[in-house]
Structure 1
Amino acid sequence: MKIALISDLHSNREALAAVLEHAASHQVDRYALLGDFVGYGGDPAWVVEQVRALVAAGAVAVMGNHDSAVVLGAHSSMNEDAAAAVNWTRAQLNAEQLDFLKQLPMSVERDNCLFVHANAFDPAGYAYIQGRLEAMRSLHATQARYTFCGHMHEPMLYHLSGTGKAGEFTPQPGVPIPLMSNRQWLVIPGSCGQPRDGNPAACYALFDLDAGSLSFERVPYDHDAAAARIRAAGLPERLAQRLITGE
């Protein structure tokens, strides 16, 4: 079974369309959508409808902090730009779309895989996995062989051996990585809709469950058009610029 792992879509229609086309060309069997479908970007309704359609067809989807904020209201810890986008986004979604976001689970576990937005140790707290310490805490919190999460907008891979030895790896796009069965793995595919590693190309990952193989992918898309949608919506200019610079 080949699974496309897509996270942090952030209302970016152009990025999601490009990633879905790329994934389809690789004959994926299932999609796992790791949260933050909305926020920041200029086309939340279209993105939510795509996510709803994928879920109806069998995809896994979990709640992200921006999804929760659109449902409940911007959190006080959000910066000014993020809060502005949350408030604007809420007004763009209809009742069915808001209810869909409200009903999203915090995590899903199946086939020895845990899907969650931020981490396994406190999914609703949305703490970031900023390094090996947080990654190991997350891996110790689950029995699943594979944990897939988003929240961090940069691709990363961590592992934990049966003897407690931890490791981390910054992946190269398009290079298959064998995930040895005697280790636990934590996969952060990066952001589809707002990459922050200096490369504006959309991020996602392909996981072959049967082969135990993972590849991180980068997909170029029309980020100028996505930035134009943000400007047309009257959202902060910084949100448009981040798409162009990938930072």
Structure 2
Amino acid sequence: MRTAVFADLHDNYTGLTAVLDDAQAQQADRFIFLGDAGHQPRILAALQARGIRCVYGNWEVSGLRRLSGSLAEWVGSWPALIREDGAAYCHASPEMPAPLPTTAAAAAWLKKGMSWSALFPRLHRDIDALWNALAWMHSHNVHVLFHGHTHVQMAWVWNPTTNKLRSLAGPATIHLSSAEHTIIGVGSAGVPEDGGALRYALYDDAAGVVDLRRVEGEGT
């Protein structure tokens, strides 16, 4: 199955359509969104209408109270983490507190003045959070982890036998290995901070390959 994984639209509806169109041209079978859609209901409604699986980010947590009706109920049900067949998908880190399984739970828990970095570390700037994520993968038998939040497209590959860690920047094709743990920062489909092109990842689980893709599109 070919899965298009994207994140951080930040109200860029044009970015959403550009990435979806490119992924469909690449014969993606499904989509997973890693949070921070923005505050425009039409973006959230478009994700819902397409049946796209989503995990929550900090924008969903902070903006949930602005939504109402069935859209609020749907966004409120987004999980913090999706796990399947040796792969995991999250907004920033797989290590979320147990009481926060959904957007609604996180919104109720977060108190005024609390730091977002406690829940959503930036793995490309926080080496401790990066190693904690790799340790979580090792203990949970997860070989590839996809995350957003950083707005930078890059990957880390760790070999636990040699304890060597290497990093890769997109665009690139990454061949996964069950002997290694690979963290994929999919970049931003709305407001990239590593150049003008929109970013996402295309994961072929049967081939064990991840393509870090870039799409020409308009920023917000």
Tell me: CA distance 1:148–1:172, structure 2 relative to 1, closer, same or farther (3 Å). closer
Quick one: which amino acid aligns to residue 165 of structure 1? N
Stretch deviating more after TM superposition (158-167 or 17-26): 158-167
Does residue 221 in structure 1 map to residue 214 in structure 2?
Answer: no
* Distance in 2 separating the partners of 1:222 and 1:37: 16
Of residues 114, 138, 141 in structure 1, which corresponds to 2:133? 138
**SS state at 2:169 partner:** coil
Does residue 66 in structure 1 map to residue 59 in structure 2?
Answer: yes
* Corresponding residue for residue 110 of structure 1: 84
* Corresponding residue for residue 3 of structure 1: 3
User: RMSD across aligned C-alpha pairs, in angstroms?
Assistant: 1.8
List structure 1 segments (4+ residues) > 4 angstroms apart after TM superposition: none
Deviation at 1:99, TM superposition (A): 1.9
* Corresponding residue for residue 48 of structure 1: 44
The unaligned stretches of length 5 or more in structure 2 are: 101-118
The structure with the greater share of residues assigned to strand is: 2
Deviation at 1:132, TM superposition (A): 4.3
* Corresponding residue for residue 237 of structure 1: none
* Corresponding residue for residue 158 of structure 2: 160
The unaligned stretches of length 5 or more in structure 1 are: 73-89, 227-247
Of residues 122, 142, 163 in structure 2, which corresponds to 1:128? 122
* Corresponding residue for residue 114 of structure 2: none
- Please, what TM-score do these two structures have when normalized by structure 2? 0.82
- Please, what TM-score do these two structures have when normalized by structure 1? 0.74
Deviation at 1:222, TM superposition (A): 2.9
Deviation at 1:164, TM superposition (A): 5.4
Q: Indicate the percent of aligned positions where both proteins have the same amino acid.
A: 27
- Whether contact under 8 Å (1:155, 1:189) holds in the other structure is yes
Deviation at 1:169, TM superposition (A): 2.1
Deviation at 1:53, TM superposition (A): 2.2
Paired positions, count: 196
* Distance in 2 separating the partners of 1:221 and 1:190: 14
